Every structure is written in C-alpha cells, then in structure tokens.
C-alpha cells in the first residue's frame, strides 16, 4: 500500500535531507551560480597569448594590461571570472583572471598573458590545446554586458560603414566601434544585442551565411 497524502511530504523531506547530507560528507562543493555562467563552466580549445605589443594598453575592464600578471582574455566569460587553465599536451596548469576580451579568431578560445603562457610553457609554440574551468568569480552579475556579434574589422572606416549598412536592417543595436591597436586603428562592425549565447550564436550563423564571413560572439562591456 502506498503512503497516504499525509506521509508523502515527511518522506520527501527525509530523502532531501539525506541527499544533502551525503553531498556534504562527500566533500563535493556546491556550485555557485550567477546569470549565464555557473562556477564549474568548462571549455576546451586552442589558447594563444599576447604580450609586448599590448603591454600597458587598457583592457576591457579598464585596467592596464600587464603581461607579467596572470590574466587572460575571453570573448564571453564575465570579467572577473577566475579560471584554471590546463594544457592538454603537458598537463601543466595555471590560474588566471579574465580581464579582457578576445581572441577574435575562430579556432581559439582564450588569449593568455605572457606570464600565463610561460606557466604553461607555450610561448615557443604560440598556441596550445587547453581545458578551461571556471573556479570563481570576482565581480557583480549586474555588470555583465549584452552579447554582440562581430562581423568585421577594417583599417578603412568606409569599408566598415559599408558592411554596417548591409547588416543593420537584420538586427537592432548595430554599430561601428573604433579601437586603437598596436598595428594601428581598426573599425569593428558589431551587430545586434542579445541576452543569451544561444540567441547570439544563432545570429552569428545567420550572418555568416548571409555575408560569407566569419562572425564572433563576444560580451560587450562598454
């Protein structure tokens, strides 16, 4: 005979308590959630590094880039995310803080500082297969910007404006952003404003098919 209605809630409460106790005893930490990224987020791919040419430039969070500090650039992780980066080829690992945006290359997921790259012994090769795992977050969820899609970067402003004209009817919030890089001034074309990565990735796929270009999703912190 199944328990009556008056017994179901106490039984459920007892089971829940036992499960929580087992989790606590096992030493498994409870994940900490903030909008979009729980601590424990994992990503695998190719990491590169950036150094002297950018040393002293302003990063996405307003700091000056110091290539001797353990920091990194990621396109969408909230600034202030703390990540353990492990080399898939050597097993070496380093803990870095995300304070910048990049890399804007399809086959790369992370740009390490020179110090981070040295810790993984990847400065010679320039790139390495890595696993990134978020282990903490130093920031406020309310500070996270919307997601955008970058569809082009040009040294000629008119080329950027021409591309913007082709895309602005597709999504609202499109713009041309001017940035000064070590190699010179660039005009980046950003399309749309999205609240979720699934929306942004869908837009990126549509724009790639429409324009025949590579598109990159990134978080706009301006």
Which domains are assigned to the chain? 42-141 (2.40.40.10), 145-219 (3.30.70.1070)
pLDDT of residue 51: 87
> Tokens 């880039």 label which residue?
65
Distance CA 69, CA 39 (A): 22
Cβ-count burial of 25 within 10 angstroms (0-12 exposed, 13-18 middle, 19+ buried)? exposed
pLDDT of residue 106: 78
Strand partners, 185: 180
Residue 214, φ and ψ in degrees, nearest 5: -95, 135
Q: Please, which residues have CB within 8 angstroms of residue 209's CB and are 6 or more apart in sequence? A: none
Nearest to 81 by CA among 9, 140, 160, 11: 140
pLDDT of residue 39: 83
Map the chain to HEC letters: CCCCHHHHHHHHHHHHHHHHHHHHHHCCCCCCCCCCCCCCCEEEEEEEECCHHHCCCECCCCCECCCCCCEEECCCCCCCEEEEEEECCCCCEEEEEEEECCCCCCCCCEEECHHHHHHCCCCCCCCEEEEEEEEEECCCHHHCCCEEEEEEEECCHHHHHHHHHHHCCCCCCCEEEEEEECCEEEEEEEEEEECCHHHHHHHHHHHHHHHCCCCEEEECCC
Question: What is the mean pLDDT, run by run of 10 residues, along the chain of 222 residues?
Answer: 39 37 40 61 95 90 94 94 96 96 90 97 95 88 84 96 93 92 91 92 94 92 78
Answer whether 213's CB lies under 8 Å from 207's CB: yes
pLDDT of residue 27: 42
> Tokens 């089971």 label which residue?
15
pLDDT of residue 187: 97
């Amino acid at each position: 005979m199944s328990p009556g209605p008056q017994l179901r809630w106490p039984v459920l409460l007892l089971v829940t308590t036992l499960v929580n106790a087992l989790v606590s005893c096992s030493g498994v930490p409870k994940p900490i959630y903030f909008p979009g990224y729980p601590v424990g987020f994992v990503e695998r791919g190719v990491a590169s590094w950036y150094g002297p040419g950018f040393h002293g430039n302003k990063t996405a969070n307003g700091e000056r880039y110091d290539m001797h500090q353990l920091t990194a650039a990621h396109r969408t992780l909230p600034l202030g995310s703390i990540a353990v980066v492990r080399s898939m080829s050597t097993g070496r690992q380093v803990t870095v803080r995300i304070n910048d945006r990049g890399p804007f290359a399809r086959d790369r997921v992370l740009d390490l500082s020179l110090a981070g790259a040295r810790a993984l012994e990847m400065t010679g090769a320039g790139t390495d297969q890595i696993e990134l795992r978020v282990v903490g977050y130093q920031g406020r969820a309310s500070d996270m910007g919307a997601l955008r899609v970058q569809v082009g970067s040009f040294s000629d402003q008119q080329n950027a404006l021409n591309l913007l004209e082709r895309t602005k009817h597709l999504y609202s919030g499109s713009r041309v952003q001017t940035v000064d890089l070590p190699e010179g001034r660039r005009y980046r074309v950003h399309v749309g404003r999205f609240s979720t990565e699934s929306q942004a990735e869908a837009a990126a796929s549509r724009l790639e098919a429409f324009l025949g270009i590579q598109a990159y999703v990134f978080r706009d912190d301006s």
